[in-house]
Amino acid sequence: MALQPSDISSSNPTSLPWSRFAWLTMLATLLLISVGGLVTSRGAGLSVPDWPNSYGYSMYTFPISHWMGGILYEHSHRLLGVLVGVLTTVLAVGLWVRETSGRQRWLGVIVMTGVAGLLGRMGSWQVPIFITLAALAPVAMVWGLARFARDRQALRWLGVVAFAAVILQGTLGGLRVVWLADELGFVHGMLAQGFLVLICFIALLSGGWRNRVAPGSIAAPGLRRAWWLAVVLVVAQLGLGAAMRHRHAGLAVPDFPLAYGRVWPKTDATSLATYNRTRVEATAQRPIQSTDVILHMLHRSNAYLIAAIAAWLTFRTWRDAGRKTPAGRLTTVWLALVGIQIALGALTVWTGKSADIATLHMVTGALTLVVASAAAAAMARMCRVRPAFVEPYRRAGSGSPVWPG
Amino acid sequence: MIRTSVIVVATLAGGLAVYAAEISGKVSLKGTPPPERKIEFDAMCGKLHDKDVTTRHYVVSPDGGLANVFVYVKQAPAGKPASDKVPELDQVGCMYEPYVMGVMTNQLFKIKNSDPLMHNVHATPKATGNKEFNIGQPVKGMVKDHTFPSREVLVRFKCDVHPWMFAYVGVMDHPYFAVTDKDGKFKLPGGLPAGKYTVVAYHLKTHGTAEGLTQEIEVAEGDKREVNFTVELPGS
């Protein structure tokens, strides 16, 4: 496909202050995800039955003396959600102001700060507003991504996507409580992972990361595809994990590496009855169903697949891109994370799904996705010019392929 | 005239009580259940107990009687609740009491917080018509009245503030049900008309999604029947 002049922006997306602020936002998001993981691991998701209020109090004035048991985790999660919402708003507005001027600039600032200020009041009367804005958020996210796809220098559009995503995410979390909808918990958990990746990309791109990745330096399109496959497998793995967690059935298979003493456990009614009869749960958990066992085993199987592809990708990436390149370094980190993650998965089983270990497993999973996505993007940039596409440039005497940003 | 009517009604009612069947019995456990787990209370709830508390999956008396078994007649004519006393699910010492209880459909029962700390009450019924709910009871003495419109064995109640707190409520469309006591004994309310019935003994941990143990019985008016069950664990 020929390059269009409009594809190439003259603006420079690099801004170290905003990159640092995005990293700060990412750290806050990671903390938010961690506490969210504790909420689910400890079965505390509904310990505060109302939203946006907390036991009738404003979220901001809920007495600390009431932060007991599961409330401690759930209320902390809500407050951290507000913090991430504020940081995301500042980031989105900052990127917008940096890249726009005149009426467009002020219109964007007024809209985003106005919405954030309105929602930030967190009153129960605002629930319809939350729902309306959350319904509009996916449209804004698709629109923002489409605009960014047209101009990869315009990080403000990623800021818009993040701003819409944080509204959607907060609303999903709240509605999961007041609608008693477990399935929203699954979506809430998965969107959190995507949001973390998005903020990471804003931080990387605004930090000039793109300049450090030589475009088209590797003629290995298969490697690029393999990296994206790895990302898909990690997303699937996180999805399986989120589905297991949000079914609230506890640990469906209590042994590892075998499963109920077998390579693949039985899931007939008699076996399930035995599993349920012999486990002694100390918390309120739903009885195990065949779906729980199958999800658990798919999660394990996919982990083995990811481990295999991680080993192969490491070998190929180190060989083709070098260990010292951004992609090579990310690959090293990713391989380590995959190893740690598998160990944490085993520990989760061996500790009977200890809440802290299970949460650490979930958070490491989020980091695995972030690093895999960054590595895949780096490899896509390094590999994406096919020889057949490069040749015309080379023949024309340009020497090296030209790439937009 | 009124006095005569009262006497006639009382005599008839007394007669029904005398001649209607009564079913009682015991549920025993055969086999060794898995050991219960000690509940790890948080600091505030821990202060409410001076000794260890465990889970209550298998509460067995020295002679093998199994407590907390929900015993009921599978199909029985509708009637009034066996007692005028309003059933109560209490939160005391960061535990639900009782662990298993029964109510009739549309019978009002109370959910009470007797603890000097916050609880939430989260019911997770599955039967059509019985709605899931989650309410806060932050203050000692708070009471919530509730009814379930549909039959269900069993509805789970839980506290998400204290995840070790859970209990079960059986909902029947007739009054002929009971929960076994600490000795495994039960007595269904009197007044069951003569006829053929299926008595079910359902122990949540043992029977899970299965119906439970059943016995076919035929009772005549005035019968006093003893129906015993033995819950057998595999390998026993």
pLDDT in tens, B107-142: 999 999 999 999 999 999 999 999 999 999 999 999
Residue A105 lies in a domain: yes
pLDDT given at position A14: 82
Cα distances (angstroms) measured from residue A76 to each of A34, A58, A246, B106, B181: 11, 14, 19, 38, 42
Which tokens hold the place of B37?
A: 């787990």
Contact B42 A68 (CB under 8 A): yes
- For residue A180, list chain B residues with Cβ-Cβ distance below 8 A: 132-134
pLDDT band at A42 (very low <50, low <70, confident <90, very high): very high
Average pLDDT, chain A: 90
Q: Which secondary structure element, helix H or strand E, spans residue A176, and what is its range?
A: helix A156-178
pLDDT given at position B236: 63
As a whole number of angstroms, the distance between CA A53 and CA A62 comes to 9
- The domain defined by B90-96+103-166 folds into Immunoglobulin-like (2.60.40)
A134 to chain B nearest CA, in Å?
24
B76 to chain A nearest CA, in Å?
28
pLDDT band at A212 (very low <50, low <70, confident <90, very high): confident
A300 and A171 assigned to the same domain: no
A61 and A161 assigned to the same domain: yes
- Quick: pLDDT tens for B37-64: 999 999 999 999 999 999 999 999 999 9
Q: Are A191 and A164 in contact (CB under 8 A)?
A: no
Q: Does B60 touch chain A (CB under 8 A)?
A: no
Residue A340 lies in a domain: yes
Average pLDDT, chain B: 91
A245 and A390 assigned to the same domain: yes
As a whole number of angstroms, the distance between CA A380 and CA A373 comes to 10
* Selected residue with higher pLDDT from A159 and A212: A159
Residues B18-36 have a mean pLDDT of 89
A305 and A387 assigned to the same domain: yes
Number of H helices, E strands in chain B: 3, 17
Q: In sequence order, what are the residues at sequence separation of 6 or more whose Cβ sits closer than 8 angstroms to the Cβ of residue A381?
A: A210, A213, A215, A216, A403
A82 to chain B nearest CA, in Å?
22
A316 and A369 assigned to the same domain: yes
Which tokens hold the place of A359?
A: 């949460």
- Per-residue pLDDT for A61 more than 80? yes
Contact A69 B35 (CB under 8 A): no
Phi, psi of B52 (to 5 degrees): -65, 145
* Closest Cα in chain A to B210: A273
Nearest-CB residue to B161 (from A47, A269, A272): A47
- For residue A279, list chain B residues with Cβ-Cβ distance below 8 A: 34
pLDDT given at position A384: 59
- Per-residue pLDDT for B155 more than 60? yes
Which tokens hold the place of A374?
A: 């960054």
As a whole number of angstroms, the distance between CA A42 and CA B158 comes to 13
Residue A282 lies in a domain: no
Q: Does B187 touch chain A (CB under 8 A)?
A: no
A272 to chain B nearest CA, in Å?
9
Q: How many CB atoms lie within 10 A of CB A282?
A: 18
A220 and A198 assigned to the same domain: no
- Quick: pLDDT tens for A382-401: 885 555 444 444 444 444 44
Q: Does B140 touch chain A (CB under 8 A)?
A: no
Residue A4 is classified by DSSP as P
Cα distances (angstroms) measured from residue B56 to each of A43, A166, B235: 19, 42, 21
Q: Which of A177, A270, A281, A289 to mutate to test the interface with B (most CBs of B within 10 A)?
A: A281
- Which 3-state string (H, E, C) describes A38-85? HHHHCCCCCCCCCCCCECCECCCCCCHHHCCHHHHHHHHHHHHHHHHH
Residues A198-216 have a mean pLDDT of 90
Q: Does A280 touch chain B (CB under 8 A)?
A: yes
Residue A124 is classified by DSSP as G
Which tokens hold the place of A151?
A: 């101009």
- Per-residue pLDDT for B3 more than 90? no
Contact A47 B160 (CB under 8 A): yes
A185 and A236 assigned to the same domain: no
Q: Which of residues 51-80 of A touch B (CB under 8 A)?
A: 55-56, 66, 68-71, 74
- For residue A254, list chain B residues with Cβ-Cβ distance below 8 A: none
A24 and A168 assigned to the same domain: yes
Burial class (CB in 10 A: 0-12, 13-18, 19+), A13: buried
As a whole number of angstroms, the distance between CA A269 and CA B210 comes to 9
* Residue B154: cis peptide before it, omega within 30 degrees of 0: yes
Amino acid at A204: L
Contact B160 A45 (CB under 8 A): yes
A49 to chain B nearest CA, in Å?
6
Range of the domain at A55: 15-212
Contact A66 B136 (CB under 8 A): no
- For residue B132, list chain A residues with Cβ-Cβ distance below 8 A: 180
* Closest Cα in chain A to B118: A66
pLDDT given at position B11: 43
Phi, psi of A22 (to 5 degrees): -65, -40
Report how many domains make up chain A: 2
As a whole number of angstroms, the distance between CA A275 and CA A281 comes to 12
* Closest Cα in chain B to A70: B161
Residue A119 lies in a domain: yes
Contact A49 B210 (CB under 8 A): no
pLDDT band at A162 (very low <50, low <70, confident <90, very high): very high
* Closest Cα in chain B to A178: B134
- Quick: pLDDT tens for A355-366: 999 999 999 999
pLDDT given at position A325: 86
- Per-residue pLDDT for B22 more than 90? no
Q: Are A177 and A46 in contact (CB under 8 A)?
A: yes
Residues A201-222 have a mean pLDDT of 86
Which tokens hold the place of B198?
A: 């299926």
B216 to chain A nearest CA, in Å?
24
A145 and A223 assigned to the same domain: no
Q: In sequence order, what are the residues at sequence separation of 6 or more whose Cβ sits closer than 8 angstroms to the Cβ of residue B81?
A: B103, B104, B107, B175
A138 and A75 assigned to the same domain: yes
Q: In what order do the strands lie in the sheet with B70-73?
A: B177-179, B70-73, B195-202, B213-219
Residue that finishes a domain, picked among A197, A212, A227: A212
Residue A114 lies in a domain: yes
Nearest-CB residue to B160 (from A43, A66, A278): A43
* Residue A63: cis peptide before it, omega within 30 degrees of 0: no
Residue A281 lies in a domain: no
- Per-residue pLDDT for A99 more than 50? yes
- ipTM for this model: 0.85
- Per-residue pLDDT for B9 more than 70? no
Contact A280 B164 (CB under 8 A): no
pLDDT given at position A385: 53
As a whole number of angstroms, the distance between CA A7 and CA A148 comes to 10
| Domains of chain B by residue range | 21-79+174-236, 90-96+103-166
A62 and A190 assigned to the same domain: yes
Residue A405 lies in a domain: no
Place of tokens 């958020």: A137
Which tokens hold the place of B178?
A: 């009971």
Nearest-CB residue to B132 (from A180, A274, A280): A180
Residues A103-126 have a mean pLDDT of 91
Q: In sequence order, what are the residues at sequence separation of 6 or more whose Cβ sits closer than 8 angstroms to the Cβ of residue B170?
A: B70, B72, B100, B101, B102, B103, B152, B153, B154, B155, B177, B179, B202
- For residue A278, list chain B residues with Cβ-Cβ distance below 8 A: 34
- For residue A274, list chain B residues with Cβ-Cβ distance below 8 A: 234
- Per-residue pLDDT for A257 more than 90? yes
Residue A393 lies in a domain: yes
pLDDT band at A2 (very low <50, low <70, confident <90, very high): very low
- For residue A44, list chain B residues with Cβ-Cβ distance below 8 A: 160-161, 163
Phi, psi of B206 (to 5 degrees): -80, -40
B218 to chain A nearest CA, in Å?
31
pLDDT given at position A395: 44
Burial class (CB in 10 A: 0-12, 13-18, 19+), B27: buried
Contact B122 A46 (CB under 8 A): yes
- Per-residue pLDDT for A322 more than 90? no
Contact B163 A44 (CB under 8 A): yes
* Closest Cα in chain B to A355: B163
A48 and A145 assigned to the same domain: yes
Out of 2.60.40.1120, 3.40.50.720, 3.40.50.2300, 2.30.130.10, select the CATH number for domain B21-79+174-236.
Answer: 2.60.40.1120
pLDDT band at B169 (very low <50, low <70, confident <90, very high): very high
